[in-house]
Protein backbone atom coordinates (compact mmCIF):
# COMPACT_ATOMS: atom_id res chain seq x y z
CA UNK A 1 0.00 0.00 0.00
CA UNK A 2 2.45 2.60 -1.24
CA UNK A 3 -0.08 5.45 -1.22
CA UNK A 4 -2.04 4.57 1.89
CA UNK A 5 -4.07 7.53 3.19
CA UNK A 6 -2.80 9.77 0.38
CA UNK A 7 -5.06 12.08 -1.62
CA UNK A 8 -4.18 11.88 -5.31
CA UNK A 9 -5.38 13.84 -8.33
CA UNK A 10 -5.05 12.45 -11.86
CA UNK A 11 -6.02 14.97 -14.51
CA UNK A 12 -7.39 13.33 -17.61
CA UNK A 13 -7.93 10.23 -15.50
CA UNK A 14 -10.98 9.04 -17.40
CA UNK A 15 -9.06 7.09 -20.05
CA UNK A 16 -5.71 5.73 -21.20
CA UNK A 17 -2.65 6.21 -19.03
CA UNK A 18 -4.58 8.42 -16.63
CA UNK A 19 -7.25 5.82 -15.96
CA UNK A 20 -4.72 3.01 -15.53
CA UNK A 21 -2.82 5.19 -13.06
CA UNK A 22 -5.95 6.14 -11.13
CA UNK A 23 -6.85 2.47 -10.75
CA UNK A 24 -3.36 1.59 -9.52
CA UNK A 25 -3.31 4.53 -7.09
CA UNK A 26 -6.65 3.30 -5.71
CA UNK A 27 -5.26 -0.22 -5.29
CA UNK A 28 -2.31 1.26 -3.41
CA UNK A 29 -4.53 2.94 -0.82
CA UNK A 30 -5.06 6.45 -2.17
CA UNK A 31 -8.22 8.50 -2.29
CA UNK A 32 -8.30 9.32 -6.00
CA UNK A 33 -9.78 12.27 -7.84
CA UNK A 34 -9.93 12.14 -11.63
CA UNK A 35 -10.92 14.78 -14.16
CA UNK A 36 -12.68 14.47 -17.49
CA UNK A 37 -12.51 17.30 -20.02
CA UNK A 38 -16.00 17.41 -21.52
CA UNK A 39 -19.49 17.04 -20.13
CA UNK A 40 -19.91 13.88 -22.19
CA UNK A 41 -16.69 12.28 -20.96
CA UNK A 42 -17.54 13.33 -17.39
CA UNK A 43 -20.97 11.71 -17.56
CA UNK A 44 -19.44 8.50 -18.92
CA UNK A 45 -16.69 8.46 -16.27
CA UNK A 46 -19.14 9.24 -13.47
CA UNK A 47 -21.34 6.36 -14.55
CA UNK A 48 -18.47 3.87 -14.91
CA UNK A 49 -16.09 4.97 -12.15
CA UNK A 50 -18.06 7.17 -9.77
CA UNK A 51 -18.06 4.45 -7.12
CA UNK A 52 -14.27 4.26 -7.19
CA UNK A 53 -13.10 7.83 -7.75
CA UNK A 54 -14.20 11.38 -7.12
CA UNK A 55 -14.92 12.41 -10.72
CA UNK A 56 -14.80 16.11 -11.60
CA UNK A 57 -15.43 17.77 -14.95
CA UNK A 58 -12.53 20.10 -15.75
CA UNK A 59 -10.91 21.30 -18.95
CA UNK A 60 -7.38 22.35 -17.95
CA UNK A 61 -7.19 24.82 -20.82
CA UNK A 62 -9.81 26.89 -18.95
CA UNK A 63 -8.51 28.63 -15.84
CA UNK A 64 -11.92 28.97 -14.21
CA UNK A 65 -12.41 25.21 -14.44
CA UNK A 66 -9.03 24.60 -12.79
CA UNK A 67 -10.08 26.99 -10.00
CA UNK A 68 -13.37 25.13 -9.58
CA UNK A 69 -11.52 21.81 -9.48
CA UNK A 70 -9.27 22.88 -6.62
CA UNK A 71 -12.08 24.59 -4.74
CA UNK A 72 -13.95 21.31 -4.73
CA UNK A 73 -10.87 19.32 -3.71
CA UNK A 74 -10.15 21.75 -0.88
CA UNK A 75 -13.72 21.53 0.37
CA UNK A 76 -14.01 17.75 0.17
CA UNK A 77 -10.46 16.50 0.81
CA UNK A 78 -8.61 19.45 2.35
CA UNK A 79 -5.27 18.70 0.69
CA UNK A 80 -3.37 16.90 -2.05
CA UNK A 81 -0.44 14.54 -1.57
CA UNK A 82 0.04 13.39 -5.16
CA UNK A 83 -0.65 15.11 -8.48
CA UNK A 84 -0.29 13.36 -11.83
CA UNK A 85 -0.60 16.18 -14.36
CA UNK A 86 -1.61 13.94 -17.20
CA UNK A 87 -4.32 15.77 -19.15
CA UNK A 88 -3.25 16.61 -22.66
CA UNK A 89 -4.00 16.28 -26.33
CA UNK A 90 -1.96 14.94 -29.24
CA UNK A 91 -2.56 16.25 -32.75
CA UNK A 92 -0.25 15.78 -35.71
CA UNK A 93 0.27 17.79 -38.86
CA UNK A 94 3.10 18.66 -41.22
CA UNK A 95 4.60 22.04 -40.41
CA UNK A 96 3.50 23.38 -43.79
CA UNK A 97 -0.14 22.59 -42.98
CA UNK A 98 -0.28 23.65 -39.30
CA UNK A 99 -2.55 26.60 -38.52
CA UNK A 100 -2.45 29.09 -35.63
CA UNK A 101 -5.56 27.40 -34.24
CA UNK A 102 -3.85 24.00 -34.37
CA UNK A 103 -0.83 25.46 -32.56
CA UNK A 104 -2.81 27.32 -29.91
CA UNK A 105 -5.09 24.36 -29.17
CA UNK A 106 -2.18 22.14 -28.13
CA UNK A 107 -0.18 24.79 -26.30
CA UNK A 108 -3.25 25.96 -24.38
CA UNK A 109 -3.87 22.45 -23.07
CA UNK A 110 -0.47 20.79 -22.87
CA UNK A 111 1.62 23.76 -21.72
CA UNK A 112 -0.58 26.54 -20.34
CA UNK A 113 -3.08 24.08 -18.89
CA UNK A 114 -0.43 21.95 -17.21
CA UNK A 115 1.41 25.01 -15.89
CA UNK A 116 -1.63 26.39 -14.11
CA UNK A 117 -2.75 22.94 -13.00
CA UNK A 118 0.49 22.78 -11.02
CA UNK A 119 0.67 26.43 -9.98
CA UNK A 120 -2.85 26.42 -8.55
CA UNK A 121 -2.26 23.08 -6.80
CA UNK A 122 0.67 24.40 -4.77
CA UNK A 123 -1.40 25.81 -1.85
CA UNK A 124 -3.11 22.41 -1.49
CA UNK A 125 -0.02 20.23 -1.76
CA UNK A 126 1.04 18.87 1.61
CA UNK A 127 4.69 18.90 2.75
CA UNK A 128 6.54 16.07 1.05
CA UNK A 129 4.04 15.77 -1.80
CA UNK A 130 4.91 14.42 -5.24
CA UNK A 131 4.06 15.80 -8.66
CA UNK A 132 4.50 13.75 -11.80
CA UNK A 133 4.23 15.49 -15.18
CA UNK A 134 3.28 13.52 -18.26
CA UNK A 135 5.49 14.39 -21.23
CA UNK A 136 6.56 12.19 -24.17
CA UNK A 137 9.59 10.68 -25.81
CA UNK A 138 8.91 12.96 -28.81
CA UNK A 139 10.13 15.83 -26.66
CA UNK A 140 13.67 14.59 -27.38
CA UNK A 141 13.20 12.68 -30.64
CA UNK A 142 12.38 14.18 -34.02
CA UNK A 143 9.25 12.68 -35.49
CA UNK A 144 7.59 13.89 -38.71
CA UNK A 145 4.32 15.72 -38.20
CA UNK A 146 4.85 16.27 -34.48
CA UNK A 147 6.51 19.71 -34.44
CA UNK A 148 3.87 21.36 -32.25
CA UNK A 149 3.09 18.38 -30.03
CA UNK A 150 6.79 17.66 -29.48
CA UNK A 151 7.43 21.27 -28.49
CA UNK A 152 4.66 21.15 -25.89
CA UNK A 153 6.20 18.07 -24.31
CA UNK A 154 9.69 19.57 -24.30
CA UNK A 155 8.19 22.49 -22.37
CA UNK A 156 6.75 20.09 -19.80
CA UNK A 157 10.18 18.60 -19.21
CA UNK A 158 11.59 22.12 -18.78
CA UNK A 159 8.97 22.94 -16.14
CA UNK A 160 10.14 20.02 -13.97
CA UNK A 161 13.73 21.25 -13.99
CA UNK A 162 12.77 24.80 -13.05
CA UNK A 163 10.28 23.81 -10.38
CA UNK A 164 12.79 21.42 -8.82
CA UNK A 165 15.26 24.31 -8.58
CA UNK A 166 12.66 26.84 -7.45
CA UNK A 167 10.45 24.94 -4.99
CA UNK A 168 12.10 23.13 -2.06
CA UNK A 169 12.21 19.40 -2.72
CA UNK A 170 11.17 18.68 0.86
CA UNK A 171 7.95 20.54 0.05
CA UNK A 172 7.20 19.12 -3.40
CA UNK A 173 9.16 16.59 -5.44
CA UNK A 174 8.76 16.97 -9.22
CA UNK A 175 9.53 14.34 -11.84
CA UNK A 176 8.54 13.62 -15.43
CA UNK A 177 7.25 10.49 -17.12
CA UNK A 178 7.94 10.36 -20.85
CA UNK A 179 6.09 7.47 -22.47
CA UNK A 180 6.93 6.02 -25.84
CA UNK A 181 4.30 4.62 -28.20
CA UNK A 182 1.44 3.42 -26.00
CA UNK A 183 -1.78 1.77 -27.15
CA UNK A 184 -4.44 4.11 -25.74
CA UNK A 185 -7.77 5.59 -26.94
CA UNK A 186 -5.79 8.49 -28.43
CA UNK A 187 -5.80 6.60 -31.74
CA UNK A 188 -9.60 6.62 -31.74
CA UNK A 189 -9.58 10.37 -31.12
CA UNK A 190 -7.36 10.76 -34.18
CA UNK A 191 -10.08 9.18 -36.29
CA UNK A 192 -8.26 5.95 -37.07
CA UNK A 193 -10.22 2.81 -37.92
CA UNK A 194 -9.13 -0.65 -36.76
CA UNK A 195 -6.97 -1.28 -39.81
CA UNK A 196 -5.19 2.06 -39.45
CA UNK A 197 -4.61 1.51 -35.74
CA UNK A 198 -3.15 -1.93 -36.36
CA UNK A 199 -0.86 -0.62 -39.08
CA UNK A 200 0.30 2.28 -36.89
CA UNK A 201 0.95 -0.07 -33.97
CA UNK A 202 2.94 -2.35 -36.28
CA UNK A 203 5.07 0.55 -37.52
CA UNK A 204 5.80 1.78 -33.99
CA UNK A 205 6.65 -1.76 -32.85
CA UNK A 206 9.17 -2.09 -35.65
CA UNK A 207 10.88 1.15 -34.51
CA UNK A 208 11.00 0.07 -30.84
CA UNK A 209 13.75 -2.25 -29.54
CA UNK A 210 11.21 -4.14 -27.41
CA UNK A 211 9.23 -4.69 -30.64
CA UNK A 212 5.79 -3.87 -29.32
CA UNK A 213 3.62 -0.98 -28.19
CA UNK A 214 3.51 -0.19 -24.50
CA UNK A 215 0.48 -0.66 -22.27
CA UNK A 216 -1.20 2.00 -20.09
CA UNK A 217 -0.76 -0.30 -17.10
CA UNK A 218 3.01 -0.27 -17.61
CA UNK A 219 3.00 3.52 -17.56
CA UNK A 220 0.90 3.48 -14.40
CA UNK A 221 3.57 1.44 -12.61
CA UNK A 222 6.19 4.02 -13.61
CA UNK A 223 4.01 6.85 -12.32
CA UNK A 224 3.49 4.98 -9.04
CA UNK A 225 7.25 4.63 -8.67
CA UNK A 226 7.72 8.40 -9.08
CA UNK A 227 4.77 9.17 -6.80
CA UNK A 228 5.85 6.90 -3.94
CA UNK A 229 8.70 6.62 -1.46
CA UNK A 230 10.37 4.12 -3.80
CA UNK A 231 11.78 7.16 -5.64
CA UNK A 232 12.60 9.17 -2.50
CA UNK A 233 16.05 10.24 -3.77
CA UNK A 234 14.87 11.13 -7.26
CA UNK A 235 13.95 14.70 -8.19
CA UNK A 236 13.74 16.58 -11.46
CA UNK A 237 14.33 13.55 -13.65
CA UNK A 238 12.73 12.48 -16.91
CA UNK A 239 11.90 8.78 -16.78
CA UNK A 240 11.59 7.31 -20.27
CA UNK A 241 9.15 4.41 -20.38
CA UNK A 242 9.44 3.92 -24.11
CA UNK A 243 10.69 0.42 -24.84
CA UNK A 244 13.94 1.99 -25.98
CA UNK A 245 12.17 4.00 -28.73
CA UNK A 246 14.05 7.22 -27.99
CA UNK A 247 17.17 5.74 -26.48
CA UNK A 248 18.95 3.97 -29.33
Q: Which of 49, 70, 115, 149 is catalytic?
A: 149
Name residues whose C-beta falls within 8 Å of residue 126's C-beta, 6 or more positions apart in sequence: 79, 80, 81
HEC readout, 158-205: HHHHHHHHHCCCCCEEEEEEEECCECCCHHHHCCCCHHHHHHHHHHHH
Active-site residue 49, yes or no? no
Q: Mark residue 104 as left, alpha or beta (left: phi above 0; alpha: psi -120 to 50; beta: remaining).
A: alpha
Instruction: Return the closest-CA partner of residue 231 out of 166, 158, 177, 162.
Output: 177
Among all residues, which ones are annotated catalytic? Answer: 149
Amino acid sequence: MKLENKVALVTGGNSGIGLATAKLFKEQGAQVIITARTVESFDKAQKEYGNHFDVIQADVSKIDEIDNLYARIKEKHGRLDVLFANAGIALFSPTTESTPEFFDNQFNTNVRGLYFTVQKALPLLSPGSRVVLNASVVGVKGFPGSSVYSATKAAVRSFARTWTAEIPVEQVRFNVLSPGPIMTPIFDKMGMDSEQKNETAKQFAEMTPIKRMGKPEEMAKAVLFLASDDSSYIAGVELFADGGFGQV
